[in-house]
Chains A and B, each alone.
Chain A
C-alpha cells in the first residue's frame, strides 16, 4: 500500500467538503473492496476519510411507504431486516447471494454500489486497462473473456459490474441519496447511477468529486413473487456468471434486471411487456444488440434459461 493520511469524519457534509479539498482523498466505510485494491496499488489514495462514525446506519420507513436505507447499513443487517425480508425479498436474496458472511458483516450499502469490477485485466497491473489507466488500452478485448460483458460494452472496456445488490435495487427502482461538498442533497435513480463504459470506463458512476452517498431509498413495496437467481462456477462465495432479479405479479406481468452481463445492472423496461409471453420473448428484447465473444456467448442462452426457471418458480 502507498502511504496515506487518515481522518475520522464528524459529519456527512464535512466529509464531502474534506474530499473535495483533497483530490487524492477517498472515503472508506467497510473497506472490503478498497483495501483489497490498495494492497495491489490499483487504488492509491493519499488520504482516507473514514465515514464509519457517521449516523448513517439506520433503516427507516419513508413518508410514501418505502424504506430509507442508511449508506452505512451493513449487507448482513440489510438482508436480515424483517421489513426487507417481508416486502423486498429480492434485495435480501441478492445480498445473501453475494460474498461471504465475514464480508457481508463489514460491507456497506453505499460501498456495495461503488464496488469495482473483477475483470482480471483490471486486477493485473502488468497489463493495460483503460479503467485502471485511462488511455492505455483494453487487454480484455481479445483476451480471456468468459466472465466479461456481453452487452453495453465499448471498444474501450468490456468489464462487468460485480454487484448482486445493485441488480435487485435496479429491479426495485431504488433511489440513491447523496450530499455534495457544498452540503446540497440530491437523489439519483439507481438506473442512472451506474454508467456504461463508452470512452471513459474509469468513470463508473454519476457521482461528482467529493459527493457522498448518504442513503438508498426503496419505493413502497410492489408485492409479487420476488426471485433472485444467481448462476456461478461454484455454489457459494463466487461472482455471478449471470444473475436474474425478477418481480412477477399474479397476472404474469413484472420486472426483470440481469447481472453479470454489462457494466451496470441491465434492465430494459420495454422487454418487460413480454413477461406474460415467456422467457424467450423477454430475452430477445432484453439482450437485443448484444455483442458477446466466442467465450462468453453462452451467457445469452443462460440468461434466457435462468429467466425461464425464475418464471416457472414464480408460477409454482
Chain B
C-alpha cells in the first residue's frame, strides 16, 4: 500500500459515511411508497447573492440556508441548530440580519442576500473580519461567519436608531456601549466562549471605547 492510498481526507470519510447511510435509508424506504423527486412541489426563485443574480428551481421546503450551502455552494454560512437558536446561519437580506435557517428560499424573490463571502475575501478583508482576527474573536470558528454578519448588522442597527432591551431611555438616538453589544449579539451563541474577544473586535470597528 502506498502512502497515497492511505491518505483519506475528512471530507472523503464523511462522504463514504453518507453513502453508507444512504444505502441503509434506501433499504428502509422499500417498506414505504417512494415519492419520485419530480413529483415534489418545486418553485422558481431569483436571488441576488453577494451581487450575483442566481435563478434557482427549488423544492419548496428548501430554506435560504440550504439554498446558499447546498445549491450555491456558499458554505461560509453555517448550519448549527437549524432552529433559529444559535445564529450560525446569520446572513443579511436587503441589509438586515436574519436567521437563514428559519426562512424559505422561495420567500425571497428578488431579495439581495449578503453572506460572509460577500463581506470580504482573504485578500481584502472586511474591517470586522480583520478585527475578529486581530482580537482572536473565535476558537473553533464555526459560529464566526454568523457572528461577523451579525456584528456588522448590529453597528448598522445602532446607526439606524433601533433601540434594544438595555437601552436606558427610548427617546434619544440609540448609542454604542458594551452592554448594548452584549444584548444585541445574544442571538449568536459561541460555545468556545470567545465573547469578550468578540466584544473587543466589534468595539474596535465601531470606533468607540466600550
**Residues of A in contact with B (beta carbons under 8 Å apart):** 1, 3-6, 8, 28, 31-32, 35-36, 39, 48, 50, 52, 76, 79-80, 85-86, 89, 92-93, 96-97, 99-103, 105-106, 235-237
Q: How far is the CB of B154 from chain A (nearest CB, A)?
A: 7
B165 within 8 Å of A (CB atoms): yes
The listed residue (A4, A35, A93, A101) touching B103 by CB distance below 8 A is: A35
Question: Told that A79-B163, A101-B184, A102-B87 touch, could you supply 7 new A-B pairs with CB distance under 8 A?
Answer: A1-B61, A5-B60, A28-B104, A31-B103, A85-B163, A96-B165, A96-B167
Asked whether, in the complex, the Cβ of B170 is within 8 Å of the Cβ of A31, the reply is: no
Say whether B107 faces chain A, with CB atoms less than 8 Å apart: yes
Q: Shortest distance in angstroms between A199's beta carbon and chain B's nearest beta carbon?
A: 31
CB within 8 Å for A39 and B186 given contacts A3-B41, A3-B60: no
Secondary structure call for the B interface: loop
Query: Complex Cα distance A101/B166, Å?
Result: 13
Interface digits, B178-197 against A, CB 8 Å rule (1 contact, 0 not)? 00001111111000000000
Q: Tell me if B72 is interfacial: C-beta within 8 Å of chain A.
A: no
- Pairs across A and B, CB under 8 Å, 11 listed: A6-B106, A31-B104, A31-B107, A48-B60, A76-B157, A99-B187, A101-B150, A101-B157, A101-B187, A102-B98, A106-B99
Q: A76-B162, A101-B153 are in contact. Are A35 and B41 (CB under 8 A)?
A: no
B20 within 8 Å of A by Cβ?
no
Asked if B96 CB lies within 8 Å of chain A CBs, one says yes
Q: Interface 1/0s, chain B 29-50, versus A by CB < 8 A?
A: 0000001000011010000000
Chain B 56-99: CB-based contact to A (< 8 A → 1; otherwise 0): 00011101000000000000000000111001001000001111
Contacts of B164 in A (CB 8 A): 96, 101
Q: Which residues of A contact B35 (CB under 8 A)?
A: 3
Indicate whether A36 sits within 8 Å of B102 (C-beta atoms), given known contacts A3-B40, A101-B157.
Answer: yes
